[in-house]
Amino acid sequence: MIVSVDEREATSLESDRQFMEDWRDLKMMTKALGGVARLTIVYHLARQPEISVTDLTAMLNISQPLVSWHLRKLRRAGLIQTRRTGRQVYCSLNHSRFQQCLERLGRLVDPSQILEVLPVGSALIEADASMND
């Protein structure tokens, strides 16, 4: 099968777009994990199938609004899920999403992939700068 230059370029551009999307996604996940309180929440959720916000507030010894703020960061990154029963909110770790984060971190430092897929230098920095934090 003969592939035209345009088709190869389109495939390459799509691959670059996908990589940058994965890069942004990894950045969102790592930022969500970037705090002692949020890491502690993940630690507890990894050991229990589900924990109420009330229980997390007691475990962390911080205010309920602050716990909810941390949970919102984790939920927006897809790392936790919440469900409401009446007035009580229960949280659980999204294990598959957390595993995806670990796999992407692994690919980031994998020597066999660094030069092949990582947009280097200013292209990566410019793409990062254009993202909304």
pLDDT at 116 over 80: no
Q: Which residues pair with 56 in a beta bridge?
A: none
Sign of CA dihedral 58, 60, 61, 67: negative
pLDDT at 20: 82
Instruction: Give the number of other CB atoms < 10 A from CB of residue 89.
Output: 17
Torsion-angle region of 98 (φ positive above 0: left; ψ -120 to 50: alpha; else: beta) = alpha
pLDDT one-digit tens code per residue, 40-79: 999 999 999 999 999 999 999 999 999 999 999 999 999 9
CA atoms within 13 A on the CB side of 17: 6
Q: Which domains does the chain have, with CATH numbers?
A: 37-110 (1.10.10.10)
What's the CA gap between 59 and 51, in Å, rounded? 10
DSSP-derived 3-state class of residue 92: strand
Q: Which residues pair with 84 in a beta bridge?
A: 89
The better pLDDT of the pair 12, 32 is held by: 32
